[in-house]
Structure 1
Amino acid sequence: MAQTAATGSTGAKLDRKDPNYVRCVSQVETGSLVKKRRICHTNAEWSQIDAAGSRDAEDIQGRTRQGFDPNGAGGD
């Protein structure tokens, strides 16, 4: 028997805030104005994806700041 996105292993409906609740989003395919793809993950997986994206953004910002001199010195 197949499990639906909103039901748990016991068959009971899951709350939308439950870490095991499956959420799907549609993302536009790169290079297309109309083609979309559906991506589904549990709330726990979406949280991990968001955290990884935030870490990556902070890492890039930190590396950019290391090479930035607010006084405008050229390093000659």
Structure 2
Amino acid sequence: MIVFLIAGLLATAAQTAPAPAPTDAAPKPEKRVCRSETATGSTIPKRICHTKAEWAQIESDNARNVDAVRNRAPSR
């Protein structure tokens, strides 16, 4: 009896067509990039992880801040 049940399940499984792969799947999340940074006054590096886009934004913000400090008129 069990043999017939298993044979029936295998037969129906073989007849069903495999489902097509989804074409509009969700995009893969960006890969994280980790860097080790040592804070001033510390000897222990800290691991910081961001995506490539986030690192680009951080570097852009840092460059803009450096330019702002360099271009600031000296206070007297």
**With structure 2 as the length reference, what TM-score do the two structures score?**
0.53
Q: What is the CA distance between 1:36 and its match in structure 2? A: 1.8
> Deviation string for 1:20-74 (max 9, x for gaps)?
22100011243332x22110000000000000001101111111xx34xxxxxxx
Compare CA radii of gyration and give the structure with the larger one. 2
Q: What does 1:58-73 correspond to in 2, within 5 Å?
A: 58-63=67-72, 66-67=73-74
List gaps (5 residues or longer) in structure 1.
Answer: 1-7, 10-19, 68-76
Q: Percent identity between the aligned chains?
A: 36
Change (3 A) 1:29 1:21: same
CA distance in 2, matches of 1:21, 1:57: 28
1:57 aligns with 2:72: no
Choose the corresponding residue for 2:51, options 23, 26, 42.
42
Higher helix share: 2
Deviates more, 1:44-53 or 1:24-33: 24-33
Counterpart of 1:24? 34
List gaps (5 residues or longer) in structure 2.
Answer: 1-27
**With structure 1 as the length reference, what TM-score do the two structures score?**
0.53
Runs of 4+ in 1 over 3 A off after TM superposition: none
